[in-house]
Copies of this chain bind each other. A is one copy, B any other.
């Protein structure tokens, strides 16, 4: 979609519709809007340029008449390919051939819609799995930056595995969780997503399959699927993934590995019980099943810390453990890490170097400073208190507005309430309706195809007032579906 930084000049003698027409032409002749570029809807254009819709209609009609734009059956308008030569008097490359050529698939449509809608001004983001701007530790971060500004710093590349200072700090911290990982077995990455990306291109073959919880965050990403890897969901109960089912499944099929979020699972909020963790590790050893443990929500416990990580019990080296600063301190840092058998970490480090030559050394210095000062622990204490208040607020709102329309259980940590809509309510329709009403939802279907009657709600992002408006609005949208 086109976003414009340009505005028509109201002081000019040239009519507004001509100015807009010329602006469009200039973008097309410069090659910036190549053939196939989608033009926003008339209403959006009118908003964008602060003009009447009729002005837009005049401008677009003229461009269509000149053969530069064309409408399509779906009602959209695009820059024409075939007439391009006439306009520019220069043959124009159709980059679309290239755009569809690469190996990476575009994000699924609904996820793309969510990604874009997140930037609509005023939208209430009821499903967003991030800390709200007011929960982000701006003052502490300013203090950290001020401290770093007085220090010697690394402006050059870091070692392939990342800053030694940060890896040492992470090694210390993980020891406190029962994980023995020396700095040479730790790879710094640009967030947990990149960890998964590196694993998918570095360790998985096209045609292999990965066991995930059903539902799973991994289904909302395209990266494993893009690598030709199939995801197989296994049922969960309130103790986490059902390991008996996993054992049964292993008798008939040889999945390559398992991906799990044992603590404050995304999207269900479930914490895998101590017993279930032992079972899973035993199975992993018996069956030689590698496990990716995504533990990015661990420090966001609200009632009590979760049981130790799977990695802490992993004497056989079967677990790759993934952590991140994105959920607890700052997504903008783009810092996460992986630890596991050194040969695997070496391999992933080599691929990371080929991909982007390592993560920002500034972000790494900042992260190290957070961990080695008291900032991290002090912040987590404050953050937990704020999240508890948000959780209580959400709890009260759900009780007040959604009782009888849906079912849910409040989590003991993390961000998410996994909410099951009563029979007969379509989450897909609800998603579309809500979007039109300025409420952004994360429908369950993006985490598991069969879970279309669920929603992932989050109490971490929207403000208290937005949560109140959003949940009330959601309730009335559900009611109008039930009535219709």
A interface residues (Cβ-Cβ under 8 A, vs B): 1-6, 27, 29-37, 88, 90-96, 98-99, 101-104, 106-107, 112, 115, 119, 130-131, 133, 136-138, 141-143, 145-146, 148-160, 168, 180-185, 190-191, 193-194, 197, 200-206, 208, 221-223, 226-227, 256-257, 285-286, 288, 290, 314-318, 326, 329-335, 340-344, 346-347, 350-351, 353-363, 366
The complex places the Cα of A330 from the Cα of B168 at a distance, in Å, of 24
- In the assembled complex, 5 residue pairs joining A and B whose CB atoms fall closer than 8 Å, in A order, are A35-B343, A94-B288, A98-B204, A334-B357, A334-B360
The complex places the Cα of A138 from the Cα of B315 at a distance, in Å, of 44
The complex places the Cα of A148 from the Cα of B141 at a distance, in Å, of 10
A-B pairs with the 9 shortest C-beta distances?
A: A31-B317, A332-B361, A145-B149, A34-B341, A360-B360, A136-B155, A155-B330, A146-B149, A98-B203
**Do the beta carbons of A91 and B334 come within 8 Å of each other?**
no
Report whether over half of chain A's contact residues are helix, strand or loop; otherwise say mixed: loop
Question: For A288, what are the chain B residues with a Cβ–Cβ distance below 8 Å?
Answer: 91-94
State whether A184 and B101 are in contact (beta carbons under 8 Å apart), knowing that A153-B142, A159-B119, A334-B359 are contacts in the complex. no
Question: For A357, what are the chain B residues with a Cβ–Cβ distance below 8 Å?
Answer: 190-191, 193, 326, 331, 334
Residue A33 contacts which of B96, B208, B326, B342 (CB distance < 8 angstroms)? B342
The complex places the Cα of A117 from the Cα of B96 at a distance, in Å, of 42
Q: Tell me the number of copies of this protein.
A: 2
Question: For A343, what are the chain B residues with a Cβ–Cβ distance below 8 Å?
Answer: 33-37, 95-96, 99
The complex places the Cα of A317 from the Cα of B93 at a distance, in Å, of 7
Residue of B at shortest CB range from A222? B354
The complex places the Cα of A104 from the Cα of B223 at a distance, in Å, of 14
**Do the beta carbons of B30 and A317 come within 8 Å of each other?**
yes
State whether A334 and B351 are in contact (beta carbons under 8 Å apart), knowing that A184-B2, A185-B32 are contacts in the complex. no
**Do the beta carbons of B355 and A194 come within 8 Å of each other?**
yes
Residue A332 contacts which of B99, B157, B341 (CB distance < 8 angstroms)? B157
**Do the beta carbons of B317 and A193 come within 8 Å of each other?**
no
Listed residue (A96, A200, A203) with the most chain B CB atoms within 10 angstroms of its CB: A203
Residue of B at shortest CB range from A461? B156
The complex places the Cα of A344 from the Cα of B100 at a distance, in Å, of 10
The complex places the Cα of A35 from the Cα of B315 at a distance, in Å, of 14
**Do the beta carbons of B138 and A142 come within 8 Å of each other?**
no
The complex places the Cα of A201 from the Cα of B326 at a distance, in Å, of 26
**Do the beta carbons of B362 and A333 come within 8 Å of each other?**
yes
Known A99-B347, A155-B331; 14 more pairs at CB < 8 Å: A88-B315, A95-B344, A102-B351, A133-B156, A136-B155, A142-B149, A143-B149, A157-B331, A190-B356, A190-B357, A331-B357, A332-B361, A332-B362, A356-B356
